[in-house]
DNA sequence: GCCGATTTGTCCGTATGTATC
DNA sequence: CGATACATACGGACAAATCGG
């Protein structure tokens, strides 16, 4: 007997919601019906529904059913995982072409203050990379990143021009797994004014994140400064029943 | 036999991580050990760990163990569910007192353009409330909200001065369940300049959200405009294995 | 208000697959 | 290769909420 993965059921239902097979405010077939349809266990269906609910497609109602809360206008597919619009998507949305410019590429040793900011232990060797992202030659995002040097061996500025993640995943066989972020607004700094095209903007959107590799060890700390007009974030919150 | 809820295990482990019983980069006891300790099923332990992982406390590594990735400096308790710092928490963090001022309280019928923005059907009766949140008498957040009128019957401006959520949950017995958000930066509008203390700021942080009640029906649409210095958001992203 | 059918929510115990060491 | 540890799935049981008669 071949198992139908919960992920299959998840993708199937997701497509049917986007297809309008099941529409906004409608109830999905009951879990027991889905169990029959997919010839699987109760828990397997539930896992698929939980994933859909976490992405804002539906919402289970105890004793009643699972209601669709997704509308066609929400094209969440165009957003990458995590909710923040990627640079390329922002480019596409605005009909522009994207480019990356590396402004700094050097190895440093983490001191006390940098340790506090980045989360790397003092004394750790890290690669410090600064990049500017351009849309149609307008510089709109500035990244300052620190990578644990032992995890990006053999990397060159050319890799940084393209995608460091791609290098790490494809060349080194590592996987980026979990990321913790803080989003806030910051007063535009001198460097922001120097590198970004933010005339008439007093503030920039700032995303700070710590990223862990497939071994759950801190791999990267980064701060991204966005032109206010080029930052968007999507999210779905499910409230606890406590 | 009394069942030990997965939520108990979740809270227990969470506390032990915050207690430094298990510390950063350490592996938690294996799931089979936890099964013995809590006298429960494998799935129950897994559900607790999944919840912790979703909140950035730990990260399971296939074939290896579950690693703690939480550090004491992350006081995520001070943030309410959902990652956005609440008004009261922001007040506490800055040692200030919070107050709410209702600037508008009227019933309207949803027209086409409002329907597009809010997600309510055209013709729906909604309560339009505008409020300003003050910290030590400095106005820093402006809310424009639309509530489905049939879901907030009997509400008064006095309720809005305190907490509409509290009224809805305690008086009407409704529960707010799921919320979908978009975060972006917007150019400060005339109203923002009129009501908020944002001198020297060209932009405000803007959070738009649609909230669904315990019946999974759209209950509220709201836009909150934040003073740039008073907006913070926390998040943990877990990457798919696809 | 009560009862019974339906539906979601939680948990158990077991089996098997897969990655790490 | 074997032992360990996480990942997925099954089938059954019961609890809790909803709804209609």
Per-residue model confidence as pLDDT tens digits over A88-130:
777 777 788 888 999 999 999 999 999 999 999 999 999 999 9
Among A60, A63, A69, A94, the strongest candidate for a mutation testing the B interface, having the largest count of B CBs within 10 A, is: A69
Average of pLDDT values for A16-42?
A: 96
Q: What is the pTM of this model?
A: 0.90
Between CA B232 and CA B215 the distance in angstroms is: 30
Query: Mind telling me how many Å the CA of B127 is from chain A's nearest CA?
Result: 21
Judge whether residue A145 has pLDDT over 80.
yes
Q: How far is A95 from chain B (nearest CA, A)?
A: 19
The helices-and-strands tally (H runs, E runs) of chain A is 8, 9
Provide, in whole angstroms, the distance separating residue A35's CA from nucleotide C14's C1'.
20
A161 SS3 class:
helix
Q: Stated in angstroms, how far is B23 CA from C9 C1'?
A: 33
Read off the pLDDT of each residue in A169-194 and give the average, rounded to a whole number: 90
Query: How far is residue B204's CA from residue B141's CA, in Å, rounded to a whole number?
Result: 9
Tokens matching residue A128: 């410090």
Protein-contacted bases of chain C (C-beta within 7 A)? 6-15, 17-21
Let me know: does A77 contact A17? Beta carbons within 8 Å. no
Interface of A with B in 50-109 (CB under 8 A): 53, 56, 58-59, 61, 64, 67, 69, 71, 74, 81-83
The single-letter DSSP state of residue A121 is P
Average pLDDT over residues A26-52: 96
- CA-wise closest residue to A29 among A10, A5, A13, A48: A13
The answer to whether the CB atoms of B59 and A235 lie below 8 A apart is: no
| Signed CA dihedral, A187, A204, B197, B131: sign only | negative
For residue A81, give the chain B residue with the closest CA: B239
* CA–CA separation, B144 and A120 (whole Å): 42
Tens digits of residue pLDDT in A122-141:
999 999 999 999 988 899 99
Residue B81 is nearest to which of A178, A234, A239, comparing CB atoms?
A: A239
- Cα–Cα distances in angstroms (integers) from residue A190 to residues A74, A194, A204, B122, B190, in the given order: 37, 6, 12, 48, 28
Residue B39, pLDDT above cutoff 80: yes
Q: Which residue in this structure is represented by tokens 């409330």?
A: B129
Are A121 and A111 within 8 A, CB to CB?
no
Q: Going by C-beta distance under 8 Å and a sequence separation of 6 or more, which residues neighbour residue B9?
A: B34, B38, B40, B44, B45, B48
Distances (CA, A) of A50 to A43, A59, A78, B47, B71: 10, 9, 21, 12, 28
B241 touches strand C (CB under 7 A): no
pLDDT of A198 reads: 92
Angstrom distance (rounded) from CA A212 to CA A180 = 9
Q: Which of A167-181, B45-59, B76-90 has the highest mean pLDDT?
A: B45-59
Q: Do B177 and A205 touch (CB under 8 A)?
A: no
Q: What angle do CA A220, A226, A232 make, to 5 degrees?
A: 95
Measure in Å the smallest separation between the Cα of A107 and chain B Cα atoms. Answer: 24
Res A78: pLDDT:
61
* Tally of CB atoms within 10 A around A103: 15
């Amino acid at each position: 007997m071949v198992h139908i993965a919960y992920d299959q059921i998840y993708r199937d239902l997701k497509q049917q919601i986007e297809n309008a097979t099941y529409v906004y405010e409608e109830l999905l077939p009951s879990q027991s019906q889905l169990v029959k349809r997919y010839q699987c266990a109760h828990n397997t269906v539930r896992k698929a529904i939980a994933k859909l609910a976490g992405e804002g497609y539906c919402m289970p109602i105890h004793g009643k059913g699972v209601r669709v809360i997704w509308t066609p206008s929400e094209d969440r597919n165009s957003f990458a995982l995590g909710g923040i619009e990627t640079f390329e998507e922002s480019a596409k949305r605005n009909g522009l072409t994207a480019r990356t410019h590396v402004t700094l590429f050097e190895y440093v040793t983490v001191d006390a203050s940098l340790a506090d900011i980045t989360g790397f232990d003092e004394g750790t060797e890290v690669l410090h990379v600064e990049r500017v992202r351009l849309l149609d030659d307008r510089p709109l995002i500035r990244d300052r990143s620190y990578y644990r040097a032992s995890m990006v061996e053999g990397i060159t500025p050319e890799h940084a021009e393209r995608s460091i993640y791609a290098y790490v995943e494809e060349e080194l066989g590592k996987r980026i797994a979990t990321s913790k972020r803080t989003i806030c607004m910051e007063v535009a700094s001198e460097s922001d004014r120097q590198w970004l095209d933010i005339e008439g903007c007093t503030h920039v959107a700032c995303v700070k994140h710590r990223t862990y590799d497939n071994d759950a060890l801190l791999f990267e700390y980064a701060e991204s400064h966005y032109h206010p007009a080029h930052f968007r974030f999507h999210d779905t919150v499910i409230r606890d029943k406590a």
